[in-house]
Structure 1
Amino acid sequence: MVNSRSRLPVIFATITALGVLLPLMMMVTISLNPDEQDILISMGSIRSFIPQTLSLQNYADIWLDPQQPFARTMLNTLIITLSTLGLSVLLNSMAAFVLAQGTLSVRKPVLLLIVATLAVPAESLVLPQLMMAAWAGIIDTYTVQILPGIANAMSIFLFYQFFSRIPKDLIEAARLDGFSFFQVWRFIAMPLSKPVISAVAILQFLEVWNAYLWPVMVTRGPEVRPLTVAMASYFGTNQRIPWGDVMAFAVSMAVPVILFFIIMQRQFIASVMSAGVKG
């Protein structure tokens, strides 16, 4: 009885891992198969999870297509995502530190108002934002894709949760040593908040990298178009969608996200474990 109970977590973990990995295995396997007919035949069988052929033809079709410059859209996506991420961490952490350690009497109401915005559907804000972007003359630019993603209520809340747990004695000691409020944030709060920065970075990286509705509304050509819009445009122009090319495009989009998570995973896991212990 004890052994069966001890095996349950392993069984559940295995099932969960398979549920996550099997679609990825199928995606990679199909992306390496240049034979469209063979792909259709192997669908629904074990062959769709195990590579039978190893070819980069599908990737060459995507990366070298002159009509849809993949390298350009990848660069656009990296510029938009990393710019949004850097500005978001910087500004949201500042706002959270003021709310957590500042002296303003309206800190709590402001925080509640910020958290309440999480209940507002993002789609309901698209039209007002589009009108503001058109008025500002920034349609079809990097700027219009970066600005809306900088202020993030969830990021502010996560930073606030961490900053509010910093001991007051540490803050007061720094102030006695001559640190300004800004210097306390820069030299004490931010170095301590690496796990939270990692968590915020991963969450926002995924959000911005996979954004589609806003970019498709504010971009007109491939000059500043991100990968998500380019993928829809690429396969929307073809009446017959080649599954190998679709999966090659999907794998190419997923690889930077996986690499980013691998780089940030240590701090991200530390953030989750810290939240579980202190929460």
Structure 2
Amino acid sequence: MTTVVENPPRAGRSARRRRTSWLVQTGRILLALLFAGPLLFLFVSSLKPDLQIFADLRSWRAFVPLGHVSFANYSAVFARVPFARFLMNSIGISLVTVALGLLVNSLAAFALARLQWRGKQLVLTGIIATLILPFETLALPLVWWVNKLPWLTMNGFHLQLTTGWLDTYQVQIIPFVANAFSVYLFYQYFTSIPKELDEAARMDGAGWFRIYRNVVMPLSGPAIATVAILTFLPAWNSYLWPLMVVQSEELRPVMLGIQYFFQLNVSWGQVMAYASMITLPVLALFLAFQKAFIGSIASSGVKG
């Protein structure tokens, strides 16, 4: 009679693997709860009156929609501020900034990554060097410059040349179209695409713009998604710049609307409701493009 004896070392390794896997999964759950906690508190508090928000603040009830729960705070938001107007302004400004940013930054990166010309490394170094400058150091000089720039406006059926971009839509878009980090991200991704594809397209009679449009860009989906997200977020969250250059209420983005809730009596439930509504589009955008975003960072963002 043959007796089968289990190999103790192999059984020990299997048990250690299971313990390690359990610890990893537990760590992931704890991290997810840590980062999701503030968002959960935000959305739950937006459904409660102020008194209950403060009453539940030191217990687990702060993260659970229990008690006097309603959508009254959301209704009050629309009564207190022109939220629909602010929302449409932010959507338009963000989408136009993303569209122009994708075009301008990808074209610049294509010229740096695929074309051969003297001084391109120096230009690339200069572009990357601008990343060390915080926006706050450039804000005041930029306000002075945009106030001196000309712009064509419609006067009836005639075009009229005016000076100054203050209190306009273009002052919230054009200064942020070109972005050094977006150029660098596109550049890193474009260098990973084989240049033999360019040579094959050139042999078929394609010019550089056709190679950019039909060869390189269709292969750069993850980089496009990443740049779109990284361009959309600052445009959507912009607060300091619109505060400096926009005076008319009909031109203001959603972030400036938060000021309305800190005048006279502050209602924290309404603040939470307003913050929830301006957070949801960002969450939806990231969830829609998270795979492409992570893939682009992994494949191009960490390259040397």
Q: TM-score range by the shorter chain?
A: over 0.9
Q: Is 1:125 equivalent to 2:151 in the alignment?
A: no
In the superposition, the TM-score normalised over structure 2's length comes to: 0.86
Q: Is 1:49 equivalent to 2:63 in the alignment?
A: yes
The one of 243, 261, 272 equivalent to 1:216 is 243
In the superposition, the TM-score normalised over structure 1's length comes to: 0.94
Question: Aligned AA for 1:177?
Answer: D
Paired residue secondary structure (1:61): helix
The alignment-based identity, stated in percent, is: 42
Which residue in 2 is equivalent to 1:264?
A: 289
What is the Cα deviation at residue 54 of structure 1?
Answer: 3.5
Runs of 4+ aligned structure 1 residues displaced above 6 Å come to 276-279
Question: Aligned AA for 1:104?
Answer: W
What is the Cα deviation at residue 20 of structure 1?
Answer: 1.1
Shift of the 71–277 alpha-carbon distance from structure 1 to 2, 3 Å rule, reads closer
Q: CA RMSD in A?
A: 1.6
- Aligned partners of 2:188 and 2:303 also within 8 Å: no
Which residue in 2 is equivalent to 1:155?
A: 182
Question: Aligned AA for 2:130?
Answer: T
Shift of the 93–49 alpha-carbon distance from structure 1 to 2, 3 Å rule, reads same
- Aligned partners of 2:189 and 2:223 also within 8 Å: yes
- Aligned partners of 1:222 and 1:230 also within 8 Å: no
Which residue in 1 is equivalent to 2:114?
A: 101
What is the Cα deviation at residue 236 of structure 1?
Answer: 3.0
Q: Distance in 2 between matches of 1:73 and 1:278?
A: 39
- Aligned partners of 1:26 and 1:49 also within 8 Å: yes
What is the Cα deviation at residue 17 of structure 1?
Answer: 0.5
Which residue in 2 is equivalent to 1:235?
A: 261
Question: Aligned AA for 2:41?
Answer: M
Q: Is 1:11 equivalent to 2:26 in the alignment?
A: yes
Q: Is 1:171 equivalent to 2:198 in the alignment?
A: yes
Question: Aligned AA for 1:230?
Answer: G
What is the Cα deviation at residue 229 of structure 1?
Answer: 1.1
Structure with greater Cα Rg: 2
- Aligned partners of 1:159 and 1:196 also within 8 Å: yes
Paired residue secondary structure (1:32): coil
Q: Deviations for 1:66-106, whole angstroms, at most 9, x for unmatched residues?
A: xx200000011011111101000011000000000111111
Which residue in 1 is equivalent to 2:7?
A: none
